[in-house]
């Protein structure tokens, strides 16, 4: 039997964004502690999900929204850029 393993702070790969463990504000100190670490030499993996699709693929388990207006997509992308900008100023990044 395979156990369901929740993504944890500091994982190289984030399977859910934000990781389930960060959906609780109690976990924010742990996230901030990780982001304040000096940058490592390890490669940085970055996955940016843009959850707007023309149709839902049968095999897809990602969040995807169909038929959203361009204004919603644009607002989402603007906020992704803002969030990436915030992360880019963190020492770990």
Q: Are 61 and 49 within 8 A, CB to CB? A: no
Q: C-alpha distances in angstroms, 52 versus 34, 44, 55, 76, 82? A: 30, 25, 9, 10, 19
In the complex, minimum distance from the CB of residue 73 to ligand SF4, in angstroms, rounded to a whole number: 13
Which residues in the 60-89 window bind ligand SF4 by CB under 6 A?
Answer: 60, 62, 64
Helix (H, G, I), strand (E, B) or coil at 9: coil
How many amino acids of this chain bind ligand SF4 (CB under 6 A)? 6
Closer CB to ligand SF4, residue 35 or residue 53?
A: 53
The residues binding ligand SF4 (CB under 6 A) are 53, 56-57, 60, 62, 64
């Amino acid at each position: 039997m395979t156990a369901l393993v929740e993504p944890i702070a500091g994982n190289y790969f984030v399977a859910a964004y934000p990781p389930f463990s960060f959906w609780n504000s109690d976990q924010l100190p742990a996230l901030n502690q990780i982001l304040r670490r000096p940058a490592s030499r390890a490669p940085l993996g970055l996955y940016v999900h843009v959850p707007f699709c023309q149709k839902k693929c049968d095999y897809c388990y990602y969040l995807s929204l169909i038929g959203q207006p361009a204004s919603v997509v644009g607002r989402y992308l603007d906020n992704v850029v803002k969030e990436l900008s915030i992360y880019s100023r963190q020492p770990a990044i």
